[in-house]
Amino acid sequence: MYNCTSVHELHLTVFTNTSSNCNASKFLVNGTFSTADITCTDIVGLAGHNYQFSVGSTHSNTNLKNQTYIITLAPLPLTNVSVEFNASYINNNTTNFTIVDCKNIADPKYFDFLCDRTQPKNGTKTDECQYSCSNVVHGSKLNVTVIRLDFLIADNGSTWPQETTEKTLEIGMNDFV
């Protein structure tokens, strides 16, 4: 909802820096204020990210100034998303794992990865969605954990809770590229 004073609904415009389609509708007049609902569609690839848009007037004879809003879009739940891992052999004891499509689940800065529950400190983040795990032995089983950390919801100050998912991977010679 956007509260605006003395502006005609035809002059109210929503600006974004994405390919999404936003518009203002459902104008209600309550005394000296008008209220508009802002609807944005086709917001693609921004689950778990902050989304920014501005509302302003296209009419030059109005007191309405551009107002910028930031909202946090809901992340995709890890339980409903197929989280896959691609392993590539680096050297005798280090392997890279990639969380496929992590950017479409949530902002990559909110992810963490445990290489093995029994040795949780043996990995490091090497890229937005890639982690390097040391002490990986051929023929071993790894109990890896993907963690989407809790993060602040920009538009209301509450927090999306942390979520984890585990997968057991059997590491063999055929698994390495």
Report all structural domains of the chain as residue ranges with CATH numbers, in order of start.
2-72 (no CATH), 78-175 (2.60.40)
- What is the pLDDT of the chain when averaged over all its residues? 78
CB contact at 8 A, 105 and 75? yes
pLDDT category of residue 56 using cuts at 50, 70 and 90: confident
> Which of 105, 119, 89 lies closest to 48, judged by CA?
105
pLDDT category of residue 36 using cuts at 50, 70 and 90: confident
Would the pTM count as exceeding 0.75?
yes
Q: What is the pLDDT of residue 152?
A: 96
Q: Which residues pair with 89 in a beta bridge?
A: 95
Q: Is the pLDDT of residue 91 over 70?
A: no
Which of the pair, 119 or 115, is modelled with greater confidence? 115
CB contact at 8 A, 172 and 166? no
Tokens for 61? 């004879």
- Cα–Cα distance, 16 to 68 (Å, whole number): 10
Strands 123-127, 130-134: pairing is antiparallel
Q: What is the pLDDT of residue 72?
A: 94
- Cα–Cα distance, 112 to 48 (Å, whole number): 15
**Highest mean pLDDT range out of 34-48, 94-108, 154-168?**
154-168
